[in-house]
Amino acid sequence: MNTQEYISSGILEAYILGTATQEESGILECVMSHNAQVREAFEETQKILEDLATAQAVKPADELKDKIWLKISQTEKEVIPLSVDNQQTKTIPLPAELHIESDATSKSLWSKLSVAASVLLVISLGANLFWMTKSSEKDDQIIAMRNQQNDTDKKIKNINDKLGLITNPDLQKIVLAGVETHPDSKAVVFWDKTNTKVYLNVQNLPDAPSGKQYQLWAIADGKPVSAGMYTKDKDTRIALSEIPKAQAFAITLEQEGGSAAPTMENMYVMGTVL
């Protein structure tokens, strides 16, 4: 089994997820200490799985903490049963606020009931307004949750696409490191030798200025050949071009739409095909 077959065997994912056996884990750790390509693939797979976990994470509601503490602080009301002694039932007087004097006039009673009805009407109207507002808020929350879910689905699909590229044994991975003027820049080219398609995964490139665009180049027999224009929506999901042969790849910053020849002073990354 060669290095690429070992990487695509699933051992990296099993090790990261904790499903690999002790023997498999020991072998992988030994291989990573002696094989830089396997170690790089492990680090990239680990980052992809971390991104996947982050994309699927669900943030708890802001009010959840308050509800939990309120529930904990609440005490249950004790109910004390009435006892019967010598078959005589003890009566419990009504609370003062609910007691109605027997000699109250009918007019006073109706006055109190009228006030109570008015209060109930106001409460009812307020409750209706409250629930209508809550319903509208819930509709907005549902829309926001759906939009968030759509964004999450896109992130997960992008992550799965990247993971599929890494584990595909037919794809060759070429790491493009930053040149002297842009040492922190980095990108990865995935080159499918079966159909000559080239995919690009930009890991660290500054945002292109207005009117500018990054262009990928394949160096074949010492001559640069355009390998396509990079945009974020094409990152690893869409092949930029088909390149039958190349000894190296590079990325330069060009005018939007591309250039017939690379601007060497605007080169950001470059990597050779091993």
DSSP codes joined into one string, 110-178 = HHHHHHHHHHHHHHHHHHHHHHHHHHHHHHHHHHHHHHHHHHHHHHHHHHHHHHHHHH-TTEEEEEEEE
Over residues 121-159, the pLDDT tens digits come to 556 666 666 666 666 666 666 677 777 777 776 666 666
* CA dihedral sign, ordered 53, 55, 57, 59: positive
Length in residues, the chain = 274
For residue 238, the tally of other CB atoms under 10 A from its CB is 13
Q: Look at 240 and 152; give whichever has higher pLDDT.
A: 240
pLDDT tier, 82 (very low <50, low <70, confident <90, very high otherwise): very low
Note the pLDDT of residue 165.
Answer: 66
Angle of CA points 210, 175, 14, to nearest 5°: 115
Q: What is the average pLDDT value for the chain, to the nearest integer?
A: 75
> What span, in angstroms and rounded, lies between the C-alpha atoms of 61 and 157?
26
* Averaged pLDDT for residues 239-253: 93
Note the pLDDT of residue 20.
Answer: 83
What are phi and psi for residue 209, nearest 5 degrees?
Answer: -65, 165
Q: Is it the case that residue 264 has pLDDT exceeding 70?
A: yes
pTM: 0.48
Note the pLDDT of residue 150.
Answer: 73
Single-letter amino acid code for the residue at 15:
Y
Note the pLDDT of residue 83.
Answer: 47
**The most confident of 29-38, 85-94, 141-150, 152-161, by mean pLDDT:** 29-38
pLDDT tier, 42 (very low <50, low <70, confident <90, very high otherwise): confident
Q: Is it the case that residue 100 has pLDDT exceeding 80?
A: no
pLDDT tier, 43 (very low <50, low <70, confident <90, very high otherwise): confident
Q: Look at 31 and 101; give whichever has higher pLDDT.
A: 31
- Tokens of residue 126, six digits: 């307020």
Q: Look at 170 and 194; give whichever has higher pLDDT.
A: 194
Q: Is it the case that residue 105 has pLDDT exceeding 80?
A: no
Q: Look at 89 and 178; give whichever has higher pLDDT.
A: 178
For residue 271, the tally of other CB atoms under 10 A from its CB is 18
